[in-house]
Amino acid sequence: MKPTFFILGAQKAGTTSLYTYLSHHPQVYMSEVKEPVFFESDQEYQKGIRYYWQKYFYNWSGEIAVGEARANNLFLPYIPERIKSFVPKAKLIIMLRDPVERAYSAWWMQRTYFNLEKYSFKEAVRRELRLLRSDFKIEDIENEMILKALENNYNFNGYITRGQYYDQIKFYLKHFSESNLKIVLFNDFCSDTKNVVKEIFRFINVDPYFKINDIEPKFTAYDLRVWTMIRAIMKIKIHRILKRKTRDSLLSKLSKINFGKRRSELDESMTELLREHYHQYNCELAELAGLDLNKWNKRTIK
């Protein structure tokens, strides 16, 4: 009655696609909803592991690898200890995207699709950088109040902070050994999907040679009107009736509905500002995890 692995994030780094690909493997069972809030929510966490299993894994039928995916699990500093307390030998998959590209993609989603961001990207970044240059420390805020406090007091969406991967991975290495972590770079995942997924199959101890037929990218950046339809579907619990493949196919088609929105190019001066901000974090992460992140300091975002 426990998961064996977790896709931790980062946000806007391919976790939805990976969740879907893994769910197709006959030896893998993914949570019925992609992003359980159990470890994030004090209220749910206090109800215990049995509650967690019955709410999110109710269709499990003996698969040897059981997993979930939630981007906040990488971002929030109190999550590693909670996962460790319930699943001390969990396999942890961390998907990382160029932090500048990730920040802009997250802002675009909040601004254009969800209609939840009132500031331009430039102003949102400048506001967050001012906060980060103060005495503010995310780990000083208590548990699940982090997101609520940040959103209410600072209009904080974490566009910049979520890309400071070195800090987030350090929290996990306090509780898990390096052998329990597998870091996947978003560019590798996109350019060589089949081989990267095969490596992940091997990492979670299932047949690595299982072939996934539908290897198309999956999306969660729905148009606001599409998102309203999805929420209505979830509200009437039709997702419990539909088979997983049918549900995935429906969501994939909805995600491709285009209402004419096209992402504009990121201002060059903002790109340089963020490259400078992330430089030290990227260097520390490269050394910690043995990664080549030179491209993150050179790429132009469009």
The position carrying tokens 């490596």 is: 199
The alpha-helical segments, DSSP class H, found in 110-266 are 121-132, 145-154, 165-173, 186-191, 193-203, 224-235, 244-255
* Length of the chain in terms of residues written: 302
Residue 213 lies in a domain: yes
Given a contact cutoff of 8 angstroms between Cβ atoms, the answer to whether 96 and 106 are in contact is no
Tokens (6 digits) for 109: 């989603």
Is the pLDDT score of 229 beyond 70?
no
Query: Residue 60 pairs with which residues in a beta bridge?
Result: none
* pLDDT tens digits, one per residue of 66-79: 999 999 999 998 99
Given a contact cutoff of 8 angstroms between Cβ atoms, the answer to whether 235 and 241 are in contact is no
Given a contact cutoff of 8 angstroms between Cβ atoms, the answer to whether 4 and 67 are in contact is yes
Residue 134 lies in a domain: yes
Confidence category of residue 245, pLDDT binned at 50, 70, 90 = low
* pLDDT tens digits, one per residue of 176-215: 999 999 999 999 999 999 999 999 999 999 999 999 887 7
- Environment class of 73 (CB within 10 Å of its CB; exposed 0-12, middle 13-18, buried 19+): buried
Residues 6 or more apart whose CB falls under 8 angstroms from that of 86 comprise: 2, 49, 52
User: For the chain, where are the E strands, in sequence order?
Assistant: 5-9, 28-30, 65-69, 91-96, 181-185
Q: Which domain holds residue 105?
A: 5-297
Q: Give backbone dihedrals phi and psi of 300, rounded to 5 degrees, phi first.
A: -100, 135
Residue 302 lies in a domain: no
CATH code, domain carrying 273: 3.40.50.300
- One-letter amino acid for residue 277 of the chain: H
pLDDT of residue 302: 47
pTM given for the model: 0.83
Nearest-angstrom CA–CA distance, 171 and 20: 27
Nearest-angstrom CA–CA distance, 150 and 142: 11
Cis amide linkage into residue 10, ω under 30° from 0: yes
Confidence category of residue 112, pLDDT binned at 50, 70, 90 = confident
Tokens (6 digits) for 159: 């566009």
Please give the mean pLDDT across all residues of the chain: 84
Residue 238 lies in a domain: yes
pLDDT of residue 91: 98
Q: How many domains does the chain have?
A: 1
Map 179-194 to HEC letters. Answer: HHEEEEEHHHHHHCHH
Given a contact cutoff of 8 angstroms between Cβ atoms, the answer to whether 39 and 84 are in contact is no
* pLDDT tens digits, one per residue of 113-135: 777 788 899 999 988 888 888 76
Residue 272 lies in a domain: yes
Query: Residue 6 pairs with which residues in a beta bridge?
Result: 68, 92
Residue 98 lies in a domain: yes
Sheet holding 65-69, edge to edge: 28-30, 65-69, 5-9, 91-96, 181-185
Residue 107 lies in a domain: yes
- What 8-state DSSP symbol labels residue 70? -
- One-letter amino acid for residue 60 of the chain: W
Residue 120 lies in a domain: yes
